[in-house]
Amino acid sequence: MKKRSYVWLIVILLLIPLRTDAEETKINAKYQWNLADIYVSEANFKRDYQAVADALPKLSSYEGKLARASNVAKLFALNERIARKLEKLSLYAHLKQDLNIEDKTAAHLKAQVETLISDYAAKTAFIEPELLSLSERTLAKLQKSKPLKPYRYYFEELRERKKHTLSKREEQLLAKLSPIMSDPENIYNNAARGDYDPPSVRTPDGKTVSLTDENYTKALEHPDRNYRKRAFQTRFQSYETIENTSAATLYASVKADELYAKARKYKSGLDAALSADDVPKQVFTNLISTVNTHLPSLHRYVELRKKALGVDRVHTYDMSVPLVEETIAKKMKFPFETAQSLILEGLKPLGDDYIQNVRRAFEQRWIDVYPRPKKYTGGYNTGAYDTHPFILLNYDGSLDGLLTTAHEIGHAMNSVYTNKTQPYHYSRQSIFTAEVASTANEWLMMDYFLKQAKTDEEKLYLLNQQIDQIRGTLYTQVMYSEFEQAIHDKVRQGGSLTAAELNELWLRLLKKYYGPAYAADPEAARGWLRIPHFYDAFYVYKYATSLAASFELVKQMKADETGEATKRYLQFLRSGTSDDPIRLLQKAGVDMTSPKPLENLLSYFDSLVREMEQLLKKQGRL
């Protein structure tokens, strides 16, 4: 069940466990984080820790006194001082452990901080319920008061939430039910990750491999079609063992979402989810309808794949195999020094100040670059209000590795600009806009590479990358969203969700989205049970809207020789959560309540498919 984060609970987000894998190696220090930028020594860490522990009891002194603006202002100021220190403490402990999961000191520090944050959560638990219990008149008075002027937008959100706040007794009951309503996801995770054992398959060279996520992805990219087919069928047939459990848990999760929405006086689970993000419903409905209108472009791409691969119909196991020779991908290798130069060049349209900040990231050890034993194996950007961003990579020299670097730098620069401009309580990014800054950098880099392509094969490789990026982030996520809407509507109207019904719906959507050149294999019907995001209702549509918003912003910046579009974009990066995400994007120059940004992106997708088609014809491959 999705909930909104508020000022005094923001630190709790840092408790999300970051799996880790790192130990010190002889990698040049300039490619590793300098955690002394957070705390020079553990003595400094302990000093902040003690300061927070000493300050926590003071929070309780304001309980029952929040009808007065002066008391609320003092409480918010105290809370911010505590939260900012807690944020640094949590950041330091987590990053230290992310560099080496076997670091016992890091594990001890992390445990200490988590205990402190738990105490903090308990001490601040009264704040929001007490504010919401105040009359609308009192809240309006607080919002207009001089001491709380910096919190005007926060109170605007709070007053909107009050419309969906229940009596004290009802709120207490919902709070007690909350852990139970999360059980479906926990059961699903245990079944899909704990009880499920990936099957094995024999590779073309005679080896037997377990079809883990990584090996399955490699199998779908293998040139041997029979092997791809065997891997697909083996993997999807194995889901039969958890199919009914997954259907039951998804049904229970959707029922919980709809029950929660009804209890809070929303018309539907969709309305509740959109309200939590301050997003009007037309944004979601425009997304579904606009993408459906442009499905012929996706059908054209599937038809193109069919012809290029020389097959009668395209199956699921034909959708990931590259349409260009593997040698092109192998040639496109970038040492990190080269990647830095290319990123600095590709992001030049964002202006000198932006580039200077990116240089700081490269030169001042904001990035832990290379994989090593016991280091966390993923990639992310994080940080605190009072520190610079920290980017974790496992850089492998590939084009994907370079684009990941640019992506995470986008997140980092968003934080840099926001933290310079906004007060602490508006220093985050809305989930709705969180991926705009990162994907904008990817658009700029791919545009740069496409212009620099020296051969048709390089161009084809890049076109294929760009097409599949849009397909996966826009078309696929919208198909997921359409599936979500259908199952939520059915449950709200009193229907059930069996495995057979979910399979039938999923297969129907696959056929609609991929068109007549696509063969929907019976095994593919179980695709829905591989998507854990469905347990966080109506989340995935935001991947699609962020991509469309960033495309529109980059399009405007490239076309505007006056630099005004870039100024608007940089102002957007400075905005944090100082206003609702739709208004912030509108100020930047893109209106997500209109279908136009989506139509522009989908038209671009169509142009890429047609360009790829022409190049393949030129090579005699169609």
Whole-number Å distance between alpha carbons of 437 and 138:
38
Residue 546 neighbours by CB distance under 10 Å: 25
Which of 398, 429, 460 is the C-terminal boundary of a domain? 429
Are 427 and 454 in contact by the 8 Å Cβ rule? The answer is no
> What is 494-534 written as a DSSP string?
T----HHHHHHHHHHHHHHHH-TTB---GGGGGGGGG-GGG
Q: Residue holding tokens 């097959």?
A: 311
User: Residues 495-499: contacts with CB within 8 Å, 24+ apart?
Assistant: 496/251, 497/247, 497/250, 497/251, 497/254, 498/247, 499/243, 499/244, 499/246, 499/247
State the chain's mean pLDDT as an integer: 92
- The per-residue pLDDT for 325 is 77
Mean pLDDT of all residues in 581-587: 97
Are 126 and 63 in contact by the 8 Å Cβ rule? The answer is yes
Task: At 22, give phi and psi (nearest 5°).
Answer: -140, 140
Mean pLDDT of all residues in 144-154: 96
Are 106 and 93 in contact by the 8 Å Cβ rule? The answer is yes
Mean pLDDT of all residues in 176-191: 85
Residue 264 within a domain: no
Q: 484-512 burial by CB neighbour count: b if 16+ within 10 A, else e?
A: bbbbbebbbeeeebebeebbebbbebbee
Domain range spanning residue 79? 7-163
Structure tokens at 481: 């969203």
Residue 184 within a domain: no
For residue 16, pLDDT beyond 50: no
> What is 519-530 written as a DSSP string?
---GGGGGGGGG
Residue 244 within a domain: no
Mean pLDDT of all residues in 312-326: 92
Structure tokens at 411: 């997140």
Q: 482 falls in which pLDDT band (50, 70, 90)? A: very high
Residue 61 within a domain: yes
Mean pLDDT of all residues in 439-467: 95
Find the CATH number of the domain harbouring 158: 1.20.140.70
- The per-residue pLDDT for 394 is 95
Are 394 and 379 in contact by the 8 Å Cβ rule? The answer is yes
Whole-number Å distance between alpha carbons of 533 and 327:
35
Residue 186 within a domain: no
For residue 582, pLDDT beyond 60: yes
Residue 134 within a domain: yes
- The per-residue pLDDT for 6 is 30
Residue-wise pLDDT tens digits, 370-419: 999 999 988 999 999 999 999 999 999 999 999 999 999 999 999 999 99
Q: How many domains does the chain have?
A: 2
Whole-number Å distance between alpha carbons of 8 and 79:
6
- Give 291's contacts (C-beta < 8 A, 6+ positions apart): 474, 475, 478, 544, 598, 602
CA-to-CA dists, residue 293 to 218, 266, 438, 520, angstroms: 33, 29, 27, 21
- The per-residue pLDDT for 462 is 95
Residue-wise pLDDT tens digits, 326-343: 778 778 899 999 999 999
Q: 26 falls in which pLDDT band (50, 70, 90)? A: low
Residues noted as catalytic: 408
Q: Residue holding tokens 């402190």?
A: 116
User: Residues 217-226: contacts with CB within 8 Å, 24+ apart?
Assistant: 217/320, 220/317, 220/319, 220/320, 220/321, 221/320, 221/321, 221/322, 222/321, 223/321, 223/326, 225/309, 225/311, 225/317, 225/318, 225/321
Residue 602 within a domain: no
Residue-wise pLDDT tens digits, 150-177: 999 999 999 999 999 888 788 888 878 8
Q: What single letter denotes the amino acid at residue 577?
A: T
- The per-residue pLDDT for 475 is 98
Which of 429, 449, 483 is the C-terminal boundary of a domain? 429
Residue-wise pLDDT tens digits, 81-130: 999 999 999 999 999 999 998 999 999 999 999 999 999 999 999 999 99
Residues paired with 200 in a beta bridge: 210
Residues paired with 392 in a beta bridge: 368, 380
Residues paired with 380 in a beta bridge: 392
- Among 64-73, 163-172, 422-431, the range scoring the smallest mean pLDDT is 163-172
Which of 429, 459, 483 is the C-terminal boundary of a domain? 429
Residues paired with 314 in a beta bridge: 518
Structure tokens at 407: 């992506």
- The per-residue pLDDT for 452 is 93
Structure tokens at 378: 């993923």
- The per-residue pLDDT for 22 is 37
Residue 530 within a domain: no
- Among 73-77, 261-265, 314-318, the range scoring the smallest mean pLDDT is 261-265
Instruction: Write down the pTM of the prediction.
Output: 0.91
- Among 5-14, 189-198, 571-580, the range scoring the smallest mean pLDDT is 5-14
Q: What single letter denotes the amino acid at residue 195?
A: D
- The per-residue pLDDT for 27 is 73
